[in-house]
Amino acid sequence: MKSIITFLLSILLLFNTNVFSQDDVPKLSWPIEIESKDGHVTTLYQPQLESFKNNLLEGRMAVTIKPKENDIIFGAVWFRATMSTDFDNRTVVLEKMQILKTHFPELVDEEKTKNFSDLLSKEIESWNLEMSLDRLLASMDEVEDLNKLSDQINNNPPEIYFRTKPAVLMIIDGEPILKTDDGSGLEFVVNTPFFIVKDSPNSDYYILGGKFWYHSKDILNGWKTTEKVPSNIKKFAEKSKQDAELDSISQAMTEAPELIVVDKSAELITVDGKIDYKPIDGTNLLYVSNSENDIVMDIASQNHYVLLAGRWYFSKSLEDGDWKFQDPKDLPADFVKIPDDSDMASVRTSIPGTSEAETALLEQSIPQTAEIDRKTATVEVSYDGNPKFENIEGTDVSYAVNTDKTVMLIKKKYYVVDDAVWFISDKATGPWEVCVVRPDEVDQIPPEAPVYNVKYAYIYDSSPTVVYVGYLPGYTNCYVYNGVVVYGTGYYYQPWYGTYYYPRPVTWGFGVHYNPWTGWGFSVGFSYGWMSWSFHPHRAGYWGPRGYYGGYRHGYHHGYRHGYNSGYRAGYAAGNRNAHRNVYNNRSNGVKRSGNINRANGSNNVNNRARTSGKANNMYTDRSGNVYQRDKSGNYNSKSNRKAQQPAISQDRKNNAQSNTQNRDRTNQQRQASQNQKQQLDRTHQNRNQGNQNYNRSSQQMQRSNSRPNTGSRPSGGRSGGGGRRR
């Protein structure tokens, strides 16, 4: 026993911060092997997670140590770590690791084991373990205290238009606001991203979309194509146009799409000609194959279901449908049976109980994190006139309405949340400094308020030099409702217009879809690749959902869905991951680390080497720290540090009960405990497999997205989920 403990201590003395250097483990897979200069190999198996709160993660790992000339030693290690995330690269780093306890079955020398544990705790504090986010998400399924409460959002349907010919939905943010251009004297519509100009002498309106011009006397009705466009309007259009080439679809179009111009919340459903229903295998459902929208028909009820911004709406008819919201938990039973290789597999994320929906829910609990330098991080706030604040009903919070920043007044202190970083000042105009304490009153803010998303921006810890911050997907307008994720609160927020126009977060009008491998994507009918998005004068930001950029139309073509590979794994459009991009990347100052790998420097004269092991990732621990190895038959064989092994937890455990009733009851209790234990281990095994599948799919999707060209301009983002300033 003494020799074993001495050996364990000598192994740990060889560990240092270089054990998990970035260069050694560029793409980390489990298990990990650490080889000492004496040839001893320590293997760490994939963590099994137990608790997660804020950015602190707790769990346990199976550990094996193979001395050069001795038998393998089996053990379990419990840890607590700070989690640093990078959603762009879908990686997680477990930093500042602490050992909570260790357990090496059948090693009973308590004093020496304690010495070993103390030394391990001291050494492991400098470890930084890198994990795949997709693998970690699957393991999160075992954490019982994750918050999956539903947001009290608005699910009333928007106005839904249906067309069987090419059409474009153009959104104006409320009643049209016209502003005169100083150079041309023409009036243009401020509160829309589209090029809508008024020829004042004749009260005629003109729209340029792709290579087509439209004309109407009424801004909301009667739009027809025209070739008679005043020269001053053409010149104004050319001067205002941003650099963006028409995509191949736009260039090939010979017939101008219909324009639908609205000044209220709306969505467009398009079908290419006569509705083409096709069956979904294994279900009593049909889907519309010649549509870019997700449309499912339940044969039993004859209801059509359409998925918009993560929400289901149903109606008997598509043409003149009286659309109603369908609570996801009350969807027809066959929805959950939609195969994961179906052309309609993309909707599984919006069906409670599917693995895709569960993954999306788990991702809602993972924060994007960053380390903010308190000295260099800054923010500038300007107002359209004197600062104007409005109280949020039922709360102790007021917010500024005449600025493009999120500014709040709470207990005579002013707070700004900019790119998910909190700032504080005694005055509405600053100066601002990085905030170290998030005010509790923020949690009172209801979804009806346009600053609701700041509830999901957090401050975890601070030092005299840095602040550790993070945000959940709610900050970028992704919320939970009854077992699925949805986009936007569904509420309409009144914009500000004085000298400047400040838009607010929006939900409707952009064909928002969720893809588990790419995040939120945006595609509406034939529209936005063709409409020259962000084609507008005097724009300092953009309007619409966070992450939407013009020119992306690579998921669907000509109104037809292209099946599983293009619609589901490949995402709805190249660049869709922008919707879930790290908002800290928007900052030009103050961000010291944004979930990226940032290893501590260690000694260079240590010969330890960390690598991905070629062994199977088949070692597990139970909550008591007992170690099990899963064999190919699905049995879990107990691994002890004594020669006499405990029996396996098998599929067909025989009844060894004695005829004595007391012994039989005891045996039944043991069998039930063994079955429960096996179920827990099976759950971990299944989650590991699911995590590997998710990792592979995500990696493939990232490669596809990175290989696609950017065909549109990328304006800078403004208010989170809303837009920027416009004169």
pLDDT at 531: 47
Model confidence at 3, pLDDT cuts 50, 70, 90, reads low
Q: What is the DSSP letter of 45?
A: P
Residues 639 and 618: their CA atoms lie apart, in Å, by 12
Could you report how far apart the first and last alpha carbons of the chain are, in Å? 78
Secondary structure (3-state) at 248: helix
Q: Write down the domain spans for the chain.
A: 1-146+608-707, 368-471
Q: E strand or H helix at 425, and its extent?
A: strand 421-425
Beta-sheet strands, E only, within 191-265: 196-199, 204-209, 212-216, 224-225, 258-262
Mean pLDDT of the 496-520 span: 81
Model confidence at 403, pLDDT cuts 50, 70, 90, reads very high
Residue 453 predicted with pLDDT over 90: yes
Greater confidence (548 vs 84) lies with 84
Mean pLDDT of the 286-308 span: 94
pLDDT tens sequence across 32-80: 887 777 777 778 899 999 988 888 999 999 988 887 777 788 888 898 9
Contact 191, 183 (CB under 8 A): no
Lowest mean pLDDT among 7-11, 130-134, 327-331, 523-527: 523-527
Secondary structure (3-state) at 334: helix
Residue 109 predicted with pLDDT over 80: no
Sheet holding 433-434, edge to edge: 389-391, 398-400, 406-410, 413-418, 421-425, 433-434
Q: Which of 124-133, 362-371, 482-491, 660-669 has the highest mean pLDDT?
A: 482-491
Model confidence at 649, pLDDT cuts 50, 70, 90, reads low
pLDDT tens sequence across 344-397: 988 999 999 998 898 888 888 889 899 999 999 999 999 999 999 999 999 999
Measured CA angle at 34 (ends 33, 35), to 5 deg: 115
Q: E strand or H helix at 357, and its extent?
A: helix 355-363
Secondary structure (3-state) at 666: helix
Lowest mean pLDDT among 42-51, 482-491, 553-562, 693-702: 553-562
pLDDT at 356: 87
Residue 667 predicted with pLDDT over 90: no
Q: Of the candidates 95, 90, 55, which has an alpha carbon nearest to the alpha carbon of residue 365?
A: 55
Mean pLDDT over each residue of the chain, to the nearest integer? 78
Residues 75 and 65: their CA atoms lie apart, in Å, by 8
Mean pLDDT of the 637-659 span: 59
pLDDT at 71: 79
| Contacts with 67 (C-beta within 8 Å, 6 or more apart), sequence order | 7, 40, 73
Contact 139, 94 (CB under 8 A): no
For residue 415, give both structure tokens.
Answer: 């707070």
Distances (CA, A) of 152 to 345, 394, 448, 450, 472: 27, 15, 9, 14, 17
Model confidence at 438, pLDDT cuts 50, 70, 90, reads very high
Mean pLDDT of the 99-106 span: 82
pLDDT at 122: 64
Helix, strand, coil content of the chain in percent (nearest 5): 20, 30, 50
Contact 525, 168 (CB under 8 A): yes
pLDDT at 559: 45
Distances (CA, A) of 458 to 32, 367, 666: 32, 9, 50
What's the CA dihedral at 141, 144, 147, 150 to 10 degrees? Answer: 80
Mean pLDDT of the 624-633 span: 91
Mean pLDDT of the 121-141 span: 77
Contact 389, 398 (CB under 8 A): yes
pTM of the model: 0.81
Contact 542, 535 (CB under 8 A): no
Bridge-based pairing state of the strands 519-522 and 512-515:
antiparallel
pLDDT at 340: 87
pLDDT at 490: 95
Residues 344 and 53: their CA atoms lie apart, in Å, by 35
Greater confidence (613 vs 20) lies with 613
Residues 514 and 568: their CA atoms lie apart, in Å, by 9
Residues 262 and 343: their CA atoms lie apart, in Å, by 32
pLDDT at 364: 87
Mean pLDDT of the 155-182 span: 90
Contact 147, 477 (CB under 8 A): no
Residues 554 and 44: their CA atoms lie apart, in Å, by 42
Residues 267 and 308: their CA atoms lie apart, in Å, by 8
Task: Give me the half-sphere count of Cα atoms (radius 13 Å) on the Cβ side of residue 585.
Answer: 15
Residues 268 and 163: their CA atoms lie apart, in Å, by 8
pLDDT at 256: 85
Residues 345 and 113: their CA atoms lie apart, in Å, by 52
pLDDT at 525: 37
Lowest mean pLDDT among 185-189, 414-418, 697-701: 697-701
pLDDT at 158: 95
Mean pLDDT of the 611-620 span: 86
Model confidence at 250, pLDDT cuts 50, 70, 90, reads low
Mean pLDDT of the 423-427 span: 97
pLDDT at 146: 73
Greater confidence (85 vs 297) lies with 297
Dihedral sign of CA atoms 378, 382, 386, 390 in order = negative
Contact 34, 21 (CB under 8 A): no
In the chain, what's the furthest Cα-to-Cα distance? Answer: 103
Greater confidence (543 vs 293) lies with 293
Residue 711 predicted with pLDDT over 60: no
Sheet holding 466-471, edge to edge: 457-462, 466-471, 368-373, 591-593
Residues 492 and 500: their CA atoms lie apart, in Å, by 19
Residues 335 and 726: their CA atoms lie apart, in Å, by 44
Mean pLDDT of the 267-292 span: 93
Share above pLDDT 90 across residues of the chain, in percent, rounded to a whole number: 38
